[in-house]
Structure 1
Amino acid sequence: MKYQAAHHELVASALVTKIAHEINPENQVGCMLAGGNFYPYSCKPEDVKMALDKDRENLFFIDVQARGYYPSYAQRTFRDKGVELEIHDEDLEILKNTVDFISFSYYASRCASADMNKGNTSEANVVKSLRNPHLEASDWGWVIDPMGLRIAMNTLYDRYQKPLFLVENGLGAKDTVEANGDINDDYRIDYLRAHIEAMGDAIEDGVPLMGYTPWGCIDLVAASTGEMSKRYGFIYVDRDDRGNGTLERSRKKSFYWYKKVIASNGEDLT
């Protein structure tokens, strides 16, 4: 059963954390979350409740890893699904070895409604979500929501009171190579600039952020769609969706921009 398997994974994760701290108390152990809040599609109570349920579903593993115990809502979930976990007292003690920080990815926020169904949802955000009518979206339907990053960071810190580490953030887009070889991906620069500014706002809100790594430095096959044409990198790779190309690397405009961002520690975003 998947929930029993998940329990074993959570115990194993906590045990690894315990061992890491025993080896060196200065070791820092984190966990990984596909971040992004679910917004209610409307103020209808049923939509608000659905957004709450979807957020809890997404945060379930982290709730255990960061808090050290199963959240109260899990009991309702298990009961509704007819799940009876085999949990030993020793397991509960091991789970108390919580992670030191929360690492997470953020590409887009999500939207939930009580009326979600196969006909009105997409998996553009990896998980099923309604299209938010208030936000622009990429060519692959991922909404562009820098404010959502600030909201997600505040939500995570309020919930866990642990430092955060944003380890994935970027824009998948189709890049055009100009006749002179230039790749002017201003849209990627605009996306990253807005999200770095949102990170700064969250830090000003009091959220401790350990670091930031965008996705990614070089073009590769997109895991979500299996395409080469869905590019995230600062470095262009000459390869198409059929595997044709020389694999030659070329710096995009965003490469030089992000080099400047790194050199200024995020101060220069122009």
Structure 2
Amino acid sequence: MTKYGGWRNRKLIDFFIHFASTVFTRYKEKVKYWMTFNEINNQVNFSESLCPFTNSGILYSPEEDLNEREQIMYQAVHYELVASALAVQTGKLINPEFNIGCMIAMCPIYPLTCAPNDMMMATKAMHRRYWFTDVHARGYYPQHMLNYFARKGFNLDITPDDNAILARGCVDFIGFSYYMSFTTQFSPDNPQLDYVEPRDLVSNPYIDTSEWGWQIDPAGLRYSLNWFWDHFQLPLFIVENGFGAVDQRQADGTVNDHYRIDYFSSHIREMKKAVVEDGVDLIGYTPWGCIDLVSAGTGEMKKRYGMIYVDKDNEGKGTLERIRKASFYWYRDLIANNGENI
């Protein structure tokens, strides 16, 4: 980050391919499914520092205004998309049986009302947050993004050779995380419907939220599966889905996280509908997560996602003892019968 500026720098493409070639070669007989960049689209939230840093190793300077930050983000993303396409090609040369996918953070964006301007704002928001998938899956930029770059005056380093690489490096499947949905609304102050996150997000009155304000929306997972399938007709893989909560140990030492079981149950039922009723090609599901760890988003230990409790608090105090929660036993039984009892 200090020497090269993170993914601002085209040189990182070569570094990434060196890394990818190394792990592809090392694990070519052990690993079948791969994903190139984790939740690559989260950095669409360029107005805050966290996601550009965690996605692309970008440290903004105080002199860079929001317009400059946005252009820097899109340039970094382009280099990452080229690196992803090259990694797909490289992996196939090492083992043609590899399945190489992308990984998208999916939070479907609903209109607050059925007012036409709200509907159009939601459409533009989905464009802005999920165009990454178009490039991964189709091998070229959607026209609405090229038009947007031109209108904003972004002079991005995108070469004809880059475009040829993108076309040859499409992914085999779409991996995505799903935790919640978003909602947006038209504002007269934004006549061009330029979606900026989190500025343009509003509360959904029909959905409950977690202690951290995350929307609990099982039907949104079914919607997301259908949206991806309708747009791209590629196999889908839910690689993250879970519920962050404060878990309390009982007097007998157990953790009865029935709320997490409720979350998983409701989401898996909607997932099943997408497969059985809607015909979505879903190849896998992995929950987040198996064990408690520090939340990447908030830096807290008390925001727990695991099915295994870890005795550690926000101040680092605790024994690190592991305790199976109620959700552990529930999920063990669920996967033993492949979800037949859901």
If each structure's helix is expressed as a fraction of its own residues, which one has the higher value?
Answer: 2
Letter in structure 1 aligned against 2:218 = P
In structure 2, relative to structure 1, the CA distance for the partners of 1:259 and 1:42 (3 Å cut) is same
The question of 1:174 aligning with 2:174 is answered no
Q: 1:226 aligns with which of 292, 299, 307?
A: 299
The question of 1:241 aligning with 2:335 is answered no
Question: For residues 88-99 of structure 1, what are the structure 2 equivalents within 5 Å?
Answer: 88-96=159-167, 97-99=169-171
Length, aligned pairs only: 262
TM-score (ref. length: structure 2)? 0.73
The question of 1:147 aligning with 2:229 is answered no
Aligned twin of 2:290: 217
- What are the superposed Cα offsets for residues 101-133 of structure 1, whole Å, 9 maximum, x if unpaired? 00000001110112399xxxxxxx989631110
- What are the superposed Cα offsets for residues 155-187 of structure 1, whole Å, 9 maximum, x if unpaired? 001111100000000111111111111211111
Q: 1:41 aligns with which of 112, 129, 150?
A: 112
Letter in structure 2 aligned against 1:35 = M
- Runs of 4+ in structure 1 deviating by more than 3 angstroms, as ranges, are 125-128
Letter in structure 2 aligned against 1:163 = P
- What are the superposed Cα offsets for residues 21-70 of structure 1, whole Å, 9 maximum, x if unpaired? 22232211100100121000111222112111111111121111111001
Structure 1 spans left out of the alignment, 5+ residues? 118-124
**Offset at residue 268 of structure 1 (A):** 2.2
The separation in 1 between residues aligned to 2:275 and 2:75, in whole angstroms, is 38
Q: Percent identity?
A: 52
The separation in 1 between residues aligned to 2:322 and 2:157, in whole angstroms, is 52
Aligned twin of 2:263: 191
Letter in structure 2 aligned against 1:229 = K
| Matched position secondary structure for 1:77 | helix
Letter in structure 1 aligned against 2:247 = D
Contact 2:184–2:201 under 8 Å retained in 1: yes
Contact 1:174–1:231 under 8 Å retained in 2: yes
| Matched position secondary structure for 2:99 | coil
**Offset at residue 89 of structure 1 (A):** 2.1
Contact 2:246–2:304 under 8 Å retained in 1: yes
Once superposed, what is the RMSD of the aligned Cα atoms? 1.8
The question of 1:104 aligning with 2:169 is answered no
Letter in structure 2 aligned against 1:103 = G
The separation in 1 between residues aligned to 2:316 and 2:157, in whole angstroms, is 48
**Offset at residue 14 of structure 1 (A):** 0.6
Question: For residues 22-61 of structure 1, what are the structure 2 equivalents within 5 Å?
Answer: 22-61=93-132
- What are the superposed Cα offsets for residues 121-154 of structure 1, whole Å, 9 maximum, x if unpaired? xxxx989631110011111111111100000000
The question of 1:134 aligning with 2:220 is answered no
Letter in structure 2 aligned against 1:77 = Y
Letter in structure 1 aligned against 2:209 = A
The separation in 1 between residues aligned to 2:244 and 2:256, in whole angstroms, is 14
Question: For residues 118-133 of structure 1, what are the structure 2 equivalents within 5 Å?
Answer: 129-133=201-205
TM-score (ref. length: structure 1)? 0.92
The separation in 1 between residues aligned to 2:96 and 2:188, in whole angstroms, is 46
| Matched position secondary structure for 2:328 | helix
The question of 1:203 aligning with 2:275 is answered yes
In structure 2, relative to structure 1, the CA distance for the partners of 1:29 and 1:126 (3 Å cut) is farther
| Matched position secondary structure for 1:105 | strand
The separation in 1 between residues aligned to 2:287 and 2:117, in whole angstroms, is 35
Letter in structure 2 aligned against 1:225 = T
In structure 2, relative to structure 1, the CA distance for the partners of 1:152 and 1:189 (3 Å cut) is same
Q: 2:228 aligns with which of 126, 151, 156?
A: 156
**Offset at residue 94 of structure 1 (A):** 0.9
Q: 1:62 aligns with which of 109, 121, 133?
A: 133
Contact 1:116–1:130 under 8 Å retained in 2: no
The separation in 1 between residues aligned to 2:97 and 2:302, in whole angstroms, is 42
Contact 1:126–1:224 under 8 Å retained in 2: no
Contact 2:185–2:200 under 8 Å retained in 1: no
The separation in 1 between residues aligned to 2:184 and 2:143, in whole angstroms, is 22
In structure 2, relative to structure 1, the CA distance for the partners of 1:21 and 1:106 (3 Å cut) is same
In structure 2, relative to structure 1, the CA distance for the partners of 1:116 and 1:219 (3 Å cut) is farther
Letter in structure 2 aligned against 1:268 = N
The separation in 2 between residues aligned to 1:85 and 1:98, in whole angstroms, is 21
